[in-house]
Amino acid sequence: MLQIQQNVSLKNFNTFGIEVFARYFVEINHEDELVELFMDPQWFQTERLILGGGSNMLFKTDFDGLVIRVNIRGIEHRISKNEVFVAAGGGEVWNDLVNFCVAREYAGLENLSLIPGSVGASPIQNIGAYGVELKDVFYSCNAFEIATGAIKTFSKHDCRFGYRDSIFKTELKGQYIITSVKFRLSLVPDVKLHYGAIQDELAKRNITSPTIKDVSQVVSHIRVSKLPDPSTIGNAGSFFKNPVISTEEFNKVHTAFPEVVHYPAGDGFTKLAAGWLIEQCGWKGKVVGHTGTWKNQALVLVNHGGATGQEVYSLSSQIIDSVYTKFGVMLEREVNIIG
Ligand code: FAD
Ligand code: EPU
Protein backbone atom coordinates (compact mmCIF):
# COMPACT_ATOMS: atom_id res chain seq x y z
CA MET A 1 0.00 0.00 0.00
CA LEU A 2 1.42 3.36 -1.03
CA GLN A 3 2.13 5.80 1.78
CA ILE A 4 1.71 9.39 0.66
CA GLN A 5 3.14 11.71 3.31
CA GLN A 6 2.42 15.43 3.61
CA ASN A 7 4.67 18.41 4.34
CA VAL A 8 7.90 16.44 4.36
CA SER A 9 11.25 18.18 4.94
CA LEU A 10 13.64 17.56 2.05
CA LYS A 11 16.73 18.67 3.98
CA ASN A 12 18.05 15.11 4.19
CA PHE A 13 17.02 14.38 0.61
CA ASN A 14 19.22 16.96 -1.13
CA THR A 15 23.01 17.05 -0.78
CA PHE A 16 23.00 20.87 -0.66
CA GLY A 17 21.20 20.38 2.67
CA ILE A 18 18.65 23.08 1.83
CA GLU A 19 15.65 23.15 4.18
CA VAL A 20 12.56 23.03 1.97
CA PHE A 21 9.32 21.08 2.18
CA ALA A 22 7.43 18.86 -0.23
CA ARG A 23 3.66 19.16 -0.09
CA TYR A 24 3.39 15.42 -0.81
CA PHE A 25 6.08 12.73 -0.73
CA VAL A 26 6.01 9.06 -1.71
CA GLU A 27 8.67 6.39 -1.79
CA ILE A 28 8.50 3.81 -4.59
CA ASN A 29 9.99 0.39 -3.84
CA HIS A 30 8.59 -1.54 -6.78
CA GLU A 31 7.52 -0.83 -10.37
CA ASP A 32 3.96 -1.96 -9.54
CA GLU A 33 3.66 0.93 -7.10
CA LEU A 34 4.15 3.35 -9.99
CA VAL A 35 1.17 1.79 -11.76
CA GLU A 36 -0.88 2.08 -8.56
CA LEU A 37 0.17 5.70 -8.03
CA PHE A 38 -0.67 6.95 -11.50
CA MET A 39 -3.96 5.04 -11.73
CA ASP A 40 -5.23 7.58 -9.22
CA PRO A 41 -6.28 10.69 -11.20
CA GLN A 42 -5.33 12.92 -8.28
CA TRP A 43 -1.65 11.93 -8.51
CA PHE A 44 -1.65 11.74 -12.29
CA GLN A 45 -2.63 15.42 -12.39
CA THR A 46 -0.42 16.68 -9.56
CA GLU A 47 2.87 18.41 -10.40
CA ARG A 48 5.66 15.94 -9.66
CA LEU A 49 9.37 15.70 -9.12
CA ILE A 50 11.34 12.48 -9.49
CA LEU A 51 14.01 12.23 -6.82
CA GLY A 52 16.97 9.90 -6.47
CA GLY A 53 19.74 10.90 -4.06
CA GLY A 54 19.12 14.64 -4.54
CA SER A 55 22.81 15.16 -5.38
CA ASN A 56 22.24 17.16 -8.53
CA MET A 57 19.48 19.51 -7.42
CA LEU A 58 19.09 22.96 -5.95
CA PHE A 59 15.72 23.72 -4.36
CA LYS A 60 14.98 27.46 -4.54
CA THR A 61 11.57 27.07 -2.89
CA ASP A 62 9.30 24.48 -1.27
CA PHE A 63 7.89 21.97 -3.77
CA ASP A 64 4.12 22.39 -4.00
CA GLY A 65 3.49 19.00 -5.56
CA LEU A 66 4.36 15.30 -5.23
CA VAL A 67 7.98 14.21 -4.76
CA ILE A 68 8.43 10.62 -5.99
CA ARG A 69 11.49 9.06 -4.43
CA VAL A 70 12.72 6.07 -6.43
CA ASN A 71 13.94 3.33 -4.10
CA ILE A 72 13.71 0.27 -6.38
CA ARG A 73 16.51 -2.07 -5.35
CA GLY A 74 18.23 -5.20 -6.63
CA ILE A 75 21.36 -6.10 -8.61
CA GLU A 76 21.49 -9.02 -11.07
CA HIS A 77 24.44 -10.18 -13.13
CA ARG A 78 24.87 -12.57 -16.03
CA ILE A 79 28.19 -13.65 -17.50
CA SER A 80 28.47 -14.25 -21.23
CA LYS A 81 31.96 -15.24 -22.43
CA ASN A 82 34.23 -12.28 -21.60
CA GLU A 83 31.41 -9.93 -20.80
CA VAL A 84 29.12 -9.47 -17.87
CA PHE A 85 25.73 -7.80 -17.99
CA VAL A 86 24.79 -6.17 -14.71
CA ALA A 87 21.27 -4.83 -14.16
CA ALA A 88 20.54 -2.65 -11.14
CA GLY A 89 17.36 -1.14 -9.72
CA GLY A 90 16.96 2.62 -10.19
CA GLY A 91 17.07 3.16 -6.43
CA GLU A 92 20.39 1.41 -5.86
CA VAL A 93 23.11 3.74 -4.60
CA TRP A 94 25.48 4.34 -7.50
CA ASN A 95 28.67 3.77 -5.51
CA ASP A 96 27.31 0.53 -4.01
CA LEU A 97 26.94 -0.75 -7.56
CA VAL A 98 30.50 0.35 -8.40
CA ASN A 99 31.81 -1.48 -5.31
CA PHE A 100 29.77 -4.58 -6.18
CA CYS A 101 31.41 -4.68 -9.63
CA VAL A 102 34.95 -3.78 -8.54
CA ALA A 103 34.86 -6.49 -5.83
CA ARG A 104 33.99 -9.11 -8.49
CA GLU A 105 36.48 -7.68 -11.02
CA TYR A 106 33.75 -6.68 -13.44
CA ALA A 107 35.55 -3.90 -15.26
CA GLY A 108 34.08 -0.65 -16.56
CA LEU A 109 32.67 1.36 -13.65
CA GLU A 110 35.87 1.91 -11.65
CA ASN A 111 36.61 5.42 -12.99
CA LEU A 112 33.12 6.42 -11.87
CA SER A 113 33.82 5.49 -8.23
CA LEU A 114 32.37 7.64 -5.45
CA ILE A 115 29.96 9.68 -7.59
CA PRO A 116 26.99 10.34 -5.28
CA GLY A 117 23.41 9.53 -6.21
CA SER A 118 21.33 6.70 -7.57
CA VAL A 119 21.61 4.27 -10.47
CA GLY A 120 18.31 5.57 -11.91
CA ALA A 121 19.65 9.10 -12.26
CA SER A 122 22.93 8.04 -13.87
CA PRO A 123 21.65 8.12 -17.49
CA ILE A 124 19.83 11.45 -17.01
CA GLN A 125 22.97 13.54 -17.36
CA ASN A 126 25.22 10.70 -18.60
CA ILE A 127 27.41 10.93 -15.49
CA GLY A 128 31.10 11.15 -16.16
CA ALA A 129 34.42 11.42 -14.42
CA TYR A 130 38.11 10.68 -14.86
CA GLY A 131 37.96 9.82 -18.55
CA VAL A 132 34.81 7.64 -18.58
CA GLU A 133 31.16 8.48 -19.18
CA LEU A 134 28.15 6.34 -18.40
CA LYS A 135 27.54 5.86 -22.14
CA ASP A 136 30.80 3.86 -22.38
CA VAL A 137 29.32 1.08 -20.20
CA PHE A 138 25.57 1.59 -20.61
CA TYR A 139 23.64 -1.20 -22.36
CA SER A 140 19.97 -0.25 -21.82
CA CYS A 141 17.52 1.05 -19.26
CA ASN A 142 13.90 0.34 -18.39
CA ALA A 143 11.65 3.29 -17.74
CA PHE A 144 8.05 3.74 -16.69
CA GLU A 145 6.14 5.99 -19.08
CA ILE A 146 3.95 8.21 -16.92
CA ALA A 147 1.39 8.96 -19.64
CA THR A 148 0.64 5.30 -20.43
CA GLY A 149 1.88 3.23 -17.49
CA ALA A 150 4.01 1.12 -19.87
CA ILE A 151 7.58 0.05 -19.21
CA LYS A 152 9.78 0.92 -22.16
CA THR A 153 13.34 -0.23 -22.83
CA PHE A 154 15.80 2.38 -24.11
CA SER A 155 18.97 1.32 -25.92
CA LYS A 156 22.15 3.37 -25.79
CA HIS A 157 21.27 4.83 -29.17
CA ASP A 158 17.76 5.79 -27.98
CA CYS A 159 19.19 7.75 -25.05
CA ARG A 160 21.16 10.21 -27.27
CA PHE A 161 23.88 10.65 -24.73
CA GLY A 162 26.10 13.72 -24.88
CA TYR A 163 28.33 15.57 -22.44
CA ARG A 164 26.14 15.84 -19.28
CA ASP A 165 23.13 15.25 -21.52
CA SER A 166 20.56 12.68 -22.67
CA ILE A 167 17.10 12.51 -24.18
CA PHE A 168 15.70 12.41 -20.61
CA LYS A 169 16.91 16.00 -20.07
CA THR A 170 15.60 17.27 -23.37
CA GLU A 171 12.79 15.81 -25.51
CA LEU A 172 11.51 13.35 -22.89
CA LYS A 173 12.08 15.52 -19.83
CA GLY A 174 9.75 14.55 -16.97
CA GLN A 175 7.98 11.86 -19.01
CA TYR A 176 9.73 8.70 -17.77
CA ILE A 177 10.86 7.23 -14.46
CA ILE A 178 13.94 5.05 -14.85
CA THR A 179 13.32 1.82 -12.95
CA SER A 180 16.51 -0.11 -13.81
CA VAL A 181 19.73 0.23 -15.78
CA LYS A 182 21.72 -2.53 -17.49
CA PHE A 183 25.48 -2.21 -17.95
CA ARG A 184 27.81 -4.10 -20.29
CA LEU A 185 31.04 -4.73 -18.39
CA SER A 186 34.14 -6.75 -19.12
CA LEU A 187 35.87 -9.65 -17.45
CA VAL A 188 39.06 -8.63 -19.27
CA PRO A 189 40.14 -5.40 -17.61
CA ASP A 190 41.15 -2.58 -19.92
CA VAL A 191 42.02 0.13 -17.42
CA LYS A 192 41.43 3.73 -18.51
CA LEU A 193 44.35 5.82 -17.31
CA HIS A 194 44.43 8.76 -19.69
CA TYR A 195 43.21 11.31 -17.11
CA GLY A 196 46.45 12.97 -15.93
CA ALA A 197 45.58 12.98 -12.23
CA ILE A 198 45.13 9.18 -12.25
CA GLN A 199 48.58 8.65 -13.74
CA ASP A 200 50.19 11.05 -11.23
CA GLU A 201 48.57 9.31 -8.27
CA LEU A 202 49.49 5.82 -9.54
CA ALA A 203 53.11 6.97 -9.98
CA LYS A 204 53.13 8.33 -6.40
CA ARG A 205 52.01 4.89 -5.23
CA ASN A 206 54.61 3.10 -7.43
CA ILE A 207 51.86 1.16 -9.18
CA THR A 208 52.91 0.25 -12.72
CA SER A 209 50.28 -2.38 -13.64
CA PRO A 210 47.10 -1.13 -11.99
CA THR A 211 44.11 -3.38 -11.38
CA ILE A 212 40.58 -2.02 -11.54
CA LYS A 213 40.63 -1.96 -7.74
CA ASP A 214 43.73 0.29 -7.85
CA VAL A 215 41.96 2.62 -10.29
CA SER A 216 38.87 2.74 -8.08
CA GLN A 217 40.99 3.57 -5.01
CA VAL A 218 43.03 6.22 -6.81
CA VAL A 219 39.94 7.90 -8.26
CA SER A 220 38.30 7.88 -4.81
CA HIS A 221 41.41 9.43 -3.29
CA ILE A 222 41.54 12.22 -5.90
CA ARG A 223 37.84 12.96 -5.45
CA VAL A 224 38.08 13.19 -1.67
CA SER A 225 41.05 15.58 -1.94
CA LYS A 226 39.22 17.95 -4.29
CA LEU A 227 35.52 17.78 -3.57
CA PRO A 228 33.67 18.64 -0.35
CA ASP A 229 31.86 15.77 1.37
CA PRO A 230 28.13 16.58 1.26
CA SER A 231 27.63 15.03 4.69
CA THR A 232 29.59 17.94 6.18
CA ILE A 233 29.48 20.72 3.52
CA GLY A 234 26.35 20.89 1.39
CA ASN A 235 27.00 20.86 -2.36
CA ALA A 236 25.92 19.21 -5.61
CA GLY A 237 29.32 18.71 -7.26
CA SER A 238 30.10 20.88 -10.31
CA PHE A 239 27.49 23.61 -10.38
CA PHE A 240 28.15 24.50 -14.02
CA LYS A 241 29.05 22.51 -17.13
CA ASN A 242 32.45 23.00 -18.69
CA PRO A 243 31.53 25.26 -21.64
CA VAL A 244 31.96 23.79 -25.11
CA ILE A 245 32.60 26.59 -27.61
CA SER A 246 33.35 26.87 -31.32
CA THR A 247 36.97 27.09 -32.51
CA GLU A 248 36.28 30.66 -33.60
CA GLU A 249 35.11 31.69 -30.10
CA PHE A 250 37.95 29.73 -28.57
CA ASN A 251 40.56 31.56 -30.66
CA LYS A 252 39.35 34.89 -29.27
CA VAL A 253 39.58 33.67 -25.65
CA HIS A 254 42.94 32.02 -26.30
CA THR A 255 44.45 35.13 -27.85
CA ALA A 256 43.44 37.24 -24.85
CA PHE A 257 44.22 34.53 -22.25
CA PRO A 258 46.87 32.13 -23.66
CA GLU A 259 46.95 30.15 -20.39
CA VAL A 260 43.22 29.22 -20.58
CA VAL A 261 42.74 25.53 -19.60
CA HIS A 262 41.07 23.73 -22.51
CA TYR A 263 40.51 20.33 -24.12
CA PRO A 264 39.55 19.21 -27.64
CA ALA A 265 35.79 18.53 -27.88
CA GLY A 266 35.29 17.12 -31.36
CA ASP A 267 35.47 18.74 -34.77
CA GLY A 268 35.36 22.53 -34.55
CA PHE A 269 34.78 22.64 -30.78
CA THR A 270 36.84 23.18 -27.63
CA LYS A 271 35.89 22.59 -24.01
CA LEU A 272 37.06 25.10 -21.39
CA ALA A 273 37.66 24.30 -17.72
CA ALA A 274 34.89 26.27 -16.00
CA GLY A 275 36.75 25.94 -12.67
CA TRP A 276 39.66 27.87 -14.18
CA LEU A 277 37.42 30.61 -15.59
CA ILE A 278 35.70 31.02 -12.21
CA GLU A 279 38.99 31.03 -10.30
CA GLN A 280 40.39 33.72 -12.63
CA CYS A 281 37.43 35.92 -11.72
CA GLY A 282 38.50 35.74 -8.07
CA TRP A 283 35.74 33.46 -6.79
CA LYS A 284 37.73 30.45 -5.61
CA GLY A 285 37.19 29.79 -1.90
CA LYS A 286 35.18 33.01 -1.53
CA VAL A 287 32.52 33.00 1.19
CA VAL A 288 29.37 34.99 0.39
CA GLY A 289 26.89 34.96 3.27
CA HIS A 290 26.03 31.31 3.98
CA THR A 291 27.32 30.17 0.62
CA GLY A 292 30.46 30.36 -1.53
CA THR A 293 32.72 28.34 -3.80
CA TRP A 294 34.87 25.45 -2.59
CA LYS A 295 38.47 26.25 -1.65
CA ASN A 296 39.89 23.35 -3.70
CA GLN A 297 37.47 23.47 -6.66
CA ALA A 298 35.91 26.75 -7.77
CA LEU A 299 33.31 24.92 -9.89
CA VAL A 300 31.62 23.61 -6.73
CA LEU A 301 29.20 25.94 -4.93
CA VAL A 302 28.68 25.13 -1.27
CA ASN A 303 26.28 25.66 1.60
CA HIS A 304 28.38 26.68 4.60
CA GLY A 305 25.31 26.12 6.78
CA GLY A 306 21.86 27.64 6.73
CA ALA A 307 21.98 28.82 3.10
CA THR A 308 18.74 29.12 1.18
CA GLY A 309 18.48 27.84 -2.37
CA GLN A 310 17.85 31.40 -3.49
CA GLU A 311 21.18 32.51 -1.97
CA VAL A 312 23.09 29.78 -3.80
CA TYR A 313 21.25 30.58 -7.01
CA SER A 314 22.04 34.31 -6.70
CA LEU A 315 25.71 33.50 -6.24
CA SER A 316 25.61 31.34 -9.35
CA SER A 317 24.10 34.26 -11.30
CA GLN A 318 26.88 36.59 -10.12
CA ILE A 319 29.48 34.04 -11.21
CA ILE A 320 27.85 33.68 -14.64
CA ASP A 321 27.90 37.48 -15.05
CA SER A 322 31.52 37.92 -14.04
CA VAL A 323 32.78 35.05 -16.25
CA TYR A 324 30.83 36.50 -19.17
CA THR A 325 32.20 39.99 -18.56
CA LYS A 326 35.81 38.82 -18.37
CA PHE A 327 35.87 36.06 -21.01
CA GLY A 328 32.74 36.52 -23.14
CA VAL A 329 31.84 32.89 -22.29
CA MET A 330 28.38 32.03 -20.93
CA LEU A 331 28.36 29.34 -18.24
CA GLU A 332 25.41 26.98 -18.12
CA ARG A 333 24.18 25.51 -14.83
CA GLU A 334 24.68 21.75 -14.60
CA VAL A 335 22.63 21.32 -11.43
CA ASN A 336 18.82 20.97 -11.79
CA ILE A 337 17.12 24.08 -10.39
CA ILE A 338 13.79 23.38 -8.70
CA GLY A 339 11.41 26.27 -8.09
P1 FAD B 1 18.89 13.59 -8.24
O2 FAD B 1 19.68 14.76 -7.85
O3 FAD B 1 17.91 13.05 -7.27
O4 FAD B 1 18.13 13.90 -9.61
C5 FAD B 1 18.85 14.45 -10.71
C6 FAD B 1 17.89 14.53 -11.93
O7 FAD B 1 17.53 13.22 -12.34
C8 FAD B 1 16.57 15.24 -11.62
O9 FAD B 1 16.15 15.90 -12.79
C10 FAD B 1 15.62 14.09 -11.28
O11 FAD B 1 14.28 14.42 -11.50
C12 FAD B 1 16.11 13.02 -12.23
N13 FAD B 1 15.95 11.66 -11.74
C14 FAD B 1 16.50 11.11 -10.63
N15 FAD B 1 16.20 9.80 -10.55
C16 FAD B 1 15.44 9.51 -11.64
C17 FAD B 1 14.81 8.33 -12.12
N18 FAD B 1 14.91 7.15 -11.49
N19 FAD B 1 14.08 8.41 -13.28
C20 FAD B 1 13.96 9.59 -13.94
N21 FAD B 1 14.53 10.73 -13.53
C22 FAD B 1 15.26 10.69 -12.40
N23 FAD B 1 28.10 14.00 -11.55
C24 FAD B 1 28.90 13.55 -12.55
O25 FAD B 1 28.44 13.31 -13.67
N26 FAD B 1 30.24 13.36 -12.35
C27 FAD B 1 30.82 13.60 -11.16
O28 FAD B 1 32.03 13.41 -11.02
C29 FAD B 1 30.01 14.07 -10.09
N30 FAD B 1 30.54 14.35 -8.88
C31 FAD B 1 29.75 14.80 -7.87
C32 FAD B 1 30.35 15.05 -6.63
C33 FAD B 1 29.58 15.48 -5.57
C34 FAD B 1 30.23 15.74 -4.23
C35 FAD B 1 28.18 15.67 -5.74
C36 FAD B 1 27.33 16.10 -4.58
C37 FAD B 1 27.58 15.44 -6.98
C38 FAD B 1 28.38 14.99 -8.06
N39 FAD B 1 27.84 14.74 -9.32
C40 FAD B 1 28.63 14.25 -10.33
C41 FAD B 1 26.41 14.99 -9.59
C42 FAD B 1 25.49 13.80 -9.19
O43 FAD B 1 26.17 12.91 -8.35
C44 FAD B 1 24.96 13.06 -10.41
O45 FAD B 1 24.28 13.93 -11.27
C46 FAD B 1 24.03 11.91 -10.01
O47 FAD B 1 23.75 11.11 -11.13
C48 FAD B 1 22.70 12.43 -9.43
O49 FAD B 1 22.02 11.31 -8.89
P50 FAD B 1 20.81 11.50 -7.88
O51 FAD B 1 20.20 10.17 -7.67
O52 FAD B 1 21.27 12.20 -6.67
O53 FAD B 1 19.85 12.42 -8.74
N1 EPU C 1 40.70 24.28 -12.41
C2 EPU C 1 41.17 25.48 -11.91
N3 EPU C 1 40.62 25.93 -10.74
C4 EPU C 1 39.68 25.26 -10.06
C5 EPU C 1 39.19 24.04 -10.58
C6 EPU C 1 39.73 23.56 -11.76
O7 EPU C 1 42.04 26.12 -12.49
O8 EPU C 1 39.26 25.75 -9.00
C9 EPU C 1 41.29 23.78 -13.68
C10 EPU C 1 42.60 23.02 -13.44
O11 EPU C 1 43.47 23.33 -14.50
C12 EPU C 1 42.18 21.57 -13.54
C13 EPU C 1 41.04 21.64 -14.57
O14 EPU C 1 40.40 22.89 -14.30
O15 EPU C 1 43.22 20.76 -14.00
C16 EPU C 1 40.05 20.50 -14.45
O17 EPU C 1 39.62 20.35 -13.11
P18 EPU C 1 39.09 18.93 -12.55
O19 EPU C 1 40.02 17.85 -12.95
O20 EPU C 1 38.79 19.10 -11.11
O21 EPU C 1 37.77 18.69 -13.38
P22 EPU C 1 36.57 19.64 -13.79
O23 EPU C 1 36.64 19.85 -15.26
O24 EPU C 1 36.54 20.84 -12.93
C25 EPU C 1 34.97 17.68 -14.35
C26 EPU C 1 33.57 17.28 -14.02
C27 EPU C 1 33.53 16.62 -12.66
C28 EPU C 1 34.40 15.38 -12.69
C29 EPU C 1 35.84 15.82 -13.02
C30 EPU C 1 36.77 14.65 -13.17
C31 EPU C 1 32.09 18.78 -15.21
C32 EPU C 1 31.13 19.90 -15.12
N33 EPU C 1 32.69 18.42 -14.08
O34 EPU C 1 35.33 18.70 -13.43
O35 EPU C 1 32.17 16.22 -12.40
O36 EPU C 1 34.40 14.71 -11.46
O37 EPU C 1 35.84 16.55 -14.28
O38 EPU C 1 36.53 14.00 -14.38
O39 EPU C 1 32.27 18.22 -16.29
C40 EPU C 1 30.10 16.88 -11.42
O41 EPU C 1 29.60 16.76 -12.55
O42 EPU C 1 29.42 17.20 -10.43
C43 EPU C 1 31.55 16.66 -11.25
C44 EPU C 1 32.17 16.79 -10.10
Model pLDDT, residue 189: 86
Q: Point out the domain boundary residue: 49, 70, 91.
A: 70
Model pLDDT, residue 179: 98
pLDDT digits (tens, 9 = 90+) for 147-160: 999 999 999 999 99
286 exposure class (CB count in 10 Å sphere: 0-12, 13-18, 19+) = middle
Specify whether 168 is located in the same domain as 265. no
Model pLDDT, residue 270: 98
Reply yes or no on whether 259 is catalytic.
no
Under the banding of pLDDT at 50, 70 and 90, the label for residue 267 is very high
Specify whether 90 is located in the same domain as 41. no
Ligand with minimal distance to 280 CA: 2
Q: Report whether residue 277 contacts ligand 2, using a CB cutoff of 6 Å.
A: no
Specify whether 102 is located in the same domain as 17. no
In a domain, 222, yes or no: no
Instruction: Please state, in angstroms and rounded to a whole number, the distance separating the CA atoms of residues 148 and 237.
Output: 34
Model pLDDT, residue 203: 96
In a domain, 321, yes or no: yes
In a domain, 139, yes or no: yes
Under the banding of pLDDT at 50, 70 and 90, the label for residue 28 is very high
Q: What spacing in Å lies between the alpha carbon of 248 and ligand 1's midpoint?
A: 33
Q: What CATH number does residue 51 fall under?
A: 3.30.43.10
Specify whether 91 is located in the same domain as 173. yes
Specify whether 174 is located in the same domain as 259. no
Instruction: Please state, in angstroms and rounded to a whole number, the distance separating the CA atoms of residues 200 and 300.
Output: 23
Specify whether 163 is located in the same domain as 181. yes
pLDDT higher than 90, residue 1: no
pLDDT higher than 90, residue 275: yes
- Total count of domains within the chain: 3
Ligand 1 shell residues, CB under 6 Å:
15, 49-57, 70, 90, 115-118, 120-122, 124-125, 127-129, 177-178, 227, 230, 235-237, 336
In a domain, 309, yes or no: yes
Reply yes or no on whether 238 is catalytic.
yes
Specify whether 125 is located in the same domain as 176. yes
* The model scores a pTM over 0.85: yes
Q: What spacing in Å lies between the alpha carbon of 17 and ligand 1's midpoint?
A: 15
Distances (CA, A) of 108 to 91, 99, 101, 160: 20, 11, 8, 20
In a domain, 157, yes or no: yes
User: Which residues are CB-contacts of 166 (< 8 A; sequence separation ≥ 6)?
Assistant: 123, 124, 125, 126, 159, 160
Model pLDDT, residue 164: 97
In a domain, 198, yes or no: no
Confirm if 42 and 259 have CB atoms less than 8 A apart. Answer: no
In a domain, 227, yes or no: no
Q: Point out the domain boundary residue: 148, 166, 186.
A: 186
Among protein residues, the one whose CA lies closest to atom 32 of ligand 1: 237
Specify whether 121 is located in the same domain as 167. yes
In a domain, 272, yes or no: yes
Specify whether 292 is located in the same domain as 309. yes
Specify whether 158 is located in the same domain as 90. yes
Determine the structural domain holding residue 151 and report its residue range.
75-186
pLDDT digits (tens, 9 = 90+) for 3-18: 999 999 999 999 999 9
Q: What CATH number does residue 109 fall under?
A: 3.30.465.10
CA-based nearest residue to 242, from 85, 133, 123, 137? 133
